[in-house]
């Protein structure tokens, strides 16, 4: 009888310890899964932040070229060679900007898959599209004044200033409306990204 009692008691203890072990394993798995999701989101956000940094660096490095164009427009006797060289420099910037913008767009779409945050990503994509439209409109206004056949230097100078201001505002808006919001989505412990 004592032998049967300990056998039944042992079975209950064994089942109870198995249940406890399963609960511990589940809790560890859940923590591990949350940490992996967090790390994946963090990597995407860091990647998006690095793309923004490339946009920022591009804009900063191109300011010198745009200032050179302004100086040339103010100090040069009108000729079509100047406007051709100027537009080539601006086209190079625009091409690099839109390539980085597309890279940012693709990363945002991938982040949507990882995070499941479709509402924020749709808003971010809408903001990015709006910023790209601003750059395109400003570029088209500048391009229209720098027509190779008859360039209007005063208007071109004004449009060049507008283009410079637009690019600076767009980079700031992308940072404030997309990058900062993404960083804030991470847990507070990693706010030093």
Q: What does each of the 193 residues of the chain score in pLDDT, given as a tens digit?
A: 555 555 666 677 777 888 888 888 888 888 888 888 888 888 888 888 888 888 888 888 777 777 777 777 666 655 556 667 777 888 888 899 999 999 999 988 888 888 888 898 899 899 999 999 999 999 888 888 776 556 667 787 888 888 888 988 999 998 988 888 888 887 655 555 5
Q: Identify whether 99 is part of a domain.
A: yes
Tell me the whole-structure pTM to 2 decimals: 0.70
Q: Name the domain count of the chain.
A: 1
DSSP state of 190: G
Q: Identify whether 2 is part of a domain.
A: no
Q: Identify whether 16 is part of a domain.
A: no
CATH number at residue 122: 1.20.120
Q: Which domain holds residue 126?
A: 38-190
């Amino acid at each position: 009888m004592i032998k049967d009692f300990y056998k039944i008691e042992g079975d209950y203890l064994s089942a109870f310890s198995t249940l406890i072990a399963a609960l511990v394993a589940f809790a560890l798995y859940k923590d591990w899964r949350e940490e992996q999701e967090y790390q994946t989101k963090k990597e995407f956000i860091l990647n998006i932040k690095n793309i923004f940094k490339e946009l920022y660096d591009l804009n900063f490095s191109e300011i010198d070229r745009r200032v050179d164009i302004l100086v040339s427009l103010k100090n040069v006797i009108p000729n079509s060679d100047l406007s051709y060289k100027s537009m080539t420099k601006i086209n190079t910037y625009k091409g690099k900007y839109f390539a980085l913008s597309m890279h940012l767009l693709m990363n945002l779409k991938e982040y949507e898959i990882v995070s499941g945050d479709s509402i924020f990503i749709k808003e971010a994509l809408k903001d990015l599209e709006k910023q790209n439209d601003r750059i395109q409109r400003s570029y088209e206004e500048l391009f229209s004044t720098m027509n190779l056949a008859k360039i209007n230097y005063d208007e071109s100078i004004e449009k060049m200033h507008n283009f410079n201001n637009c690019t600076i505002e767009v980079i700031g808006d992308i940072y404030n409306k997309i990058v900062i919001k993404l960083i804030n989505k991470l847990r507070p412990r990693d706010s030093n990204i």
